[in-house]
């Protein structure tokens, strides 16, 4: 598994970083649209930009996830953990914007942003835990039992 993680081409590592950063950029740009959309409905270019950044990042992450679906360590380290941290940053950015620029008033766009970032946070956290506890944990237990069996055989050979 670790050998597989090291065997991923560098361009895919860069692409994974780029996709998660696009997701973060969308999360950071979106709170800037809250006041503009409420005051001037014609100025939706920032909202479209934020949505495009998020959608592009998600599509890129999903593409890499499908390609490396059996490489659990790489998926967690390169996609889920960065996306999880970026989701937290987006959630904090949205909450700060709501409570400072909007005096705690949750607009439609603020609610949509909170829902989107919270959903991404929940999905990445859940999948990271499932992979760490389920898949990687099972592989580690199998490795440990095989290593113990190997050591027992080696000790028995020394005795004989």
pLDDT interval class at 160 (50, 70, 90): low
Task: Check if the beta carbon of residue 27 is closer than 8 Å to that of residue 90.
Answer: yes
pLDDT interval class at 123 (50, 70, 90): very high
Please determine, for residue 136, whether its predicted confidence score (pLDDT) is greater than 60: yes
Please determine, for residue 148, whether its predicted confidence score (pLDDT) is greater than 80: no
pLDDT interval class at 126 (50, 70, 90): very high
Residue 65 neighbours by CB under 8 Å, 6+ apart: 75, 79
Percentages helix, strand, coil for the chain (3-state, rounded to 5) are 85, 0, 15
Domain count, the chain: 1
> Of the candidates 130, 115, 107, which has an alpha carbon nearest to the alpha carbon of residue 54?
115
Task: Check if the beta carbon of residue 110 is closer than 8 Å to that of residue 36.
Answer: no
103-119: per-residue pLDDT in tens? 888 888 888 889 989 99
Please compute the mean of the pLDDT values over residues 85-89 and round it to a whole number.
Answer: 94
At 28 the pLDDT is: 86
At 2 the pLDDT is: 45
Between these two residues, 38 and 135, which has the higher pLDDT value?
Answer: 135
pTM of the full structure: 0.75
34-63: per-residue pLDDT in tens? 665 556 665 577 778 888 999 999 999 999
At 124 the pLDDT is: 92
User: What mean pLDDT is reported for the chain?
Assistant: 83
How many Cα atoms sit within 13 Å of 8 on the Cβ side? 24
| Residue 87 to residues 93, 114, 131, 133, 149, Cα–Cα distance (Å) | 10, 10, 19, 21, 43
At 1 the pLDDT is: 46
DSSP category for residue 1? -
Range of the domain at 97: 2-159
**Given phi > 0 = left and psi -120 to 50 = alpha, else beta, which region is 107?**
beta
Q: How far apart are CA 99 and CA 83, in angstroms?
A: 24
Please compute the mean of the pLDDT values over residues 86-99 and round it to a whole number.
Answer: 91
Residue reference for tokens 């949509």? 112
């Amino acid at each position: 598994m670790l050998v597989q993680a090291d065997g991923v081409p560098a361009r895919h590592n860069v692409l994974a970083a780029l996709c998660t950063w696009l997701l973060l950029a969308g999360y950071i740009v979106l709170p800037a649209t809250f006041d503009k959309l409420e005051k001037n409905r014609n100025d939706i270019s920032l909202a479209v930009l934020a949505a495009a950044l998020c959608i592009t990042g998600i599509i890129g992450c999903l593409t890499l996830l499908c390609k490396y679906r059996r490489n659990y360590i790489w998926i967690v380290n390169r996609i889920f953990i960065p996306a999880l941290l970026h989701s937290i940053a987006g959630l904090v950015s949205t909450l700060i914007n709501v409570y400072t620029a909007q005096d705690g008033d949750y607009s439609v766009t603020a609610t949509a942003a909170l829902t989107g970032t919270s959903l991404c946070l929940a999905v990445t956290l859940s999948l990271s835990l499932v992979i760490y506890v389920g898949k990687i944990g099972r592989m580690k237990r199998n490795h440990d039992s095989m290593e113990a069996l190997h050591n027992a055989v080696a000790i028995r050979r020394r005795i004989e």
